[in-house]
Amino acid sequence: MRNYLLAGAAFIAVGSLLSVGARAQSPVFPVDSTAGKLDGAAPGSVTVTLGGRIFSAIEFQGGTGNNGPDQRSNPQLFSYIRLYPSFDYANPSGVHFGVAIEIRTGAGFAGSQQGVGSESNTLGVFSGQGYVSSDRFGKFAFGTPNDAIDQLGVGVGDDFGTGGFFGEYGWVNSPIWMMADAYDGDIPKQKLAYYSPSFAGFTLGVSYQPTSVGLSNAGDLTDNGATGSAFATATGAQSRNRIEGAAQYAHAFGPVAVKADVGYAHAEVSKSAEALADGLNYQDVSMVNVGGQLNFAGFELEASVNTGKFAYNYNDSGSPMGPSLQGAHNTTAYIAGVGYTFGPYSIGAQYYGVQFDQGDFGLSNSAGTLQTGHSGRLDGVAVGGSYTVGPGVSVNFDFADNETKTPGGLQTLQNGGTATTTHGTLLGIGTYINW
């Protein structure tokens, strides 16, 4: 029971479950380079770069239970800095061999508060990948590259403000990433991935992830929940033998450009130590993603849907979309947005929602019964805008409002109270400087 109450508290606590920090926009280095596209160096040469970003913002935030000694101060200041080193060698025949890395401070790994000492801001490799690519055979990547749905998914509406649903701020603005590019958004996992060259507008991708383990300096791959590993204390269940396949179609019909994707993911269950101790059973991951995007005369319309058997909660070593409890309802997440770009300005709005099983969070009713098989729902809107000052420099604003309902399941609030309906709003103004 204690575990269920703790999980319920994590469901709503700012800075814990849903205060996920940053959903970075497309970086200026070749981590997300298109399969088949040459990655930087000219044939027979080497390119080494050190990209970077600083983000700083002022934000105002409030919501249900945000009062008393735990009330968030308004305004708040929020900043981070990240580095993006990369190396790319192209042999004389045009085959590329490269490495791309993202370096963050320690506090940025878990979305925790910024520390006042050097230990909290120690630099570490958040993600990194090696690759071999060619315009003839496509791109093979290893380390922690994007999985297939992450790489080829479209329609997520994250290209205005700081990203709307995927914004840089905390709980009220950023529910757990649930769309096409959600799974590796928080804790990248070790995997192998392949992306084909584009042919007739189509690009295909497949990825294989043996366990939900991130980068490490170990000489072997630590299994999920292995004794003495960082995952031995992980809650819930972990993905094992996760396979994803996806296809993207992109084409311009005169002034109209369209993109669409479809993807499927399947993963087996590997129970954590806590799940084994609690005697909980889980079901395999089986989910489908479909998305689309249309651009015309500065306007952009887009939408994306994920649906299937997967968990909304962070039970997969720091990411959603892992195994869900046996008997849990399917999870469905959707987003629809519209944007408009004119000169250096862009504005946009989006509506998003998630229908999830309350058992994902260990929510219990007043009698202490686990709410597996009971549906919860999140609905929200976000609006935002950006002004591009110059290459690599922009000013952004975001406004978000959302509501979470868990009928029969008591959410533990930030101030220690409980409720079945919670609400939050946020306003943030910030700036990016990329190099």
Assess if residue 5 is contained within a domain.
Answer: no
- What element of type H or E holds 259? strand 256-271
Number of domains observed in the structure of the chain: 1
Which amino acid, one-letter code, is at 168?
E
Assess if residue 335 is contained within a domain.
Answer: yes
Assess if residue 300 is contained within a domain.
Answer: yes
- Identity of the highest mean pLDDT range in 187-196, 311-320, 418-427: 187-196
pLDDT the model gives residue 312: 86
Phi–psi pair at 229, nearest 5 degrees: -90, 170
> Which is more confident, 316 or 22?
316
Give yes or no for residue 120 having a pLDDT over 70: no
pTM to 2 decimals? 0.83
Q: CA 86, CA 125: separation in Å to the nearest integer?
A: 12
For residue 9, which of 245, 249, 272, 235 has the smallest C-alpha distance?
235
Residues 231-270 have pLDDT tens digits of: 444 557 889 999 999 999 999 999 999 999 999 999 999 8
Q: What is the mean pLDDT of the chain?
A: 79
Give one DSSP letter per residue of 34-82, joined into a string.
PTTS--SPPTTEEEEEEEEEEEEEEEEEEETT--GGGPPPSSEEEEEEE
Cis peptide upstream of residue 75 (ω within 30 degrees of 0): yes
User: Are 64 and 419 within 8 A, CB to CB?
Assistant: yes
- Identity of the highest mean pLDDT range in 50-64, 159-173, 342-356: 342-356
Give yes or no for residue 171 having a pLDDT over 70: no
Return the minimum-mean-pLDDT range out of 46-55, 123-132, 209-218, 423-432.
Answer: 209-218
Q: Is 222 exposed, middle or buried (0-12, 13-18, 19+ CB in 10 A)?
A: middle
Give yes or no for residue 77 having a pLDDT over 70: yes
Assess if residue 247 is contained within a domain.
Answer: yes
Assess if residue 29 is contained within a domain.
Answer: no
Domain that holds residue 256: 60-79+136-434
Q: Which of the 8 DSSP states describes residue 121?
A: G
- Identity of the highest mean pLDDT range in 157-171, 333-347, 394-408, 412-426: 333-347
Residues 173-201 have pLDDT tens digits of: 556 667 776 666 667 889 999 999 999 99
Give yes or no for residue 308 having a pLDDT over 70: yes
Mean pLDDT of 333-347: 93
Residue 95 binned pLDDT confidence (cut-offs 50, 70, 90): very high
Q: Measured between alpha carbons, how far apart are the two ends of the chain, in Å? A: 49
Assess if residue 109 is contained within a domain.
Answer: no
CATH classification of the domain holding 382: 2.40.160
> Which is more confident, 324 or 25?
324
Give yes or no for residue 327 having a pLDDT over 90: no
For residue 426, which of 179, 167, 182, 186 has the smallest C-alpha distance?
167
Assess if residue 26 is contained within a domain.
Answer: no
For residue 93, which of 144, 161, 42 has the smallest C-alpha distance?
42
Assess if residue 30 is contained within a domain.
Answer: no
